[in-house]
């Protein structure tokens, strides 16, 4: 099989990583940061973070948050254990 070194190759339809990196860096403006802050306060009202702070205080909320984080970590570890065993089933 002879390959012509002068043959023109078709352009790559997939953009390169460098081209994608140039387009992804868009800083947030003041309005967007303000909207994120308002959204955080609103979700705090709906999900009980603000009410929990009023009842339990900052230390109580910290303890509750750490407890929920431990439960979440244990849940993820259990899922990983189940996922690792699925390769032995044929």
Domain spans, the chain:
30-88
**What's the pLDDT at 71?**
95
- Write down the pLDDT at residue 77: 94
Distance of CA 59 to the CA centre of its chain: 27
DSSP secondary structure, 34-77, as one string: HHHHHHHHHHHHHHTHHHHHHHHHHHHHHHHHHHHHHHHHHHHH
**What pLDDT score does 49 carry?**
75
Question: Mean pLDDT per 10-residue run, the chain (90 residues)?
Answer: 62 59 71 89 76 88 92 94 71
């Amino acid at each position: 099989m002879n390959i012509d070194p002068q043959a023109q190759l078709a352009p790559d339809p997939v953009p390169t990583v460098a081209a994608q990196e140039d387009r992804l860096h868009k800083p947030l403006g003041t309005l967007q940061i303000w909207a994120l802050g308002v959204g955080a306060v609103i979700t705090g009202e709906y999900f009980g973070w603000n009410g929990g702070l009023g009842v339990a205080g900052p230390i109580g909320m910290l303890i509750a948050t750490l407890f929920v984080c431990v439960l979440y970590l244990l849940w993820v570890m259990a899922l990983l254990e189940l996922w690792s065993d699925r390769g032995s089933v044929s």
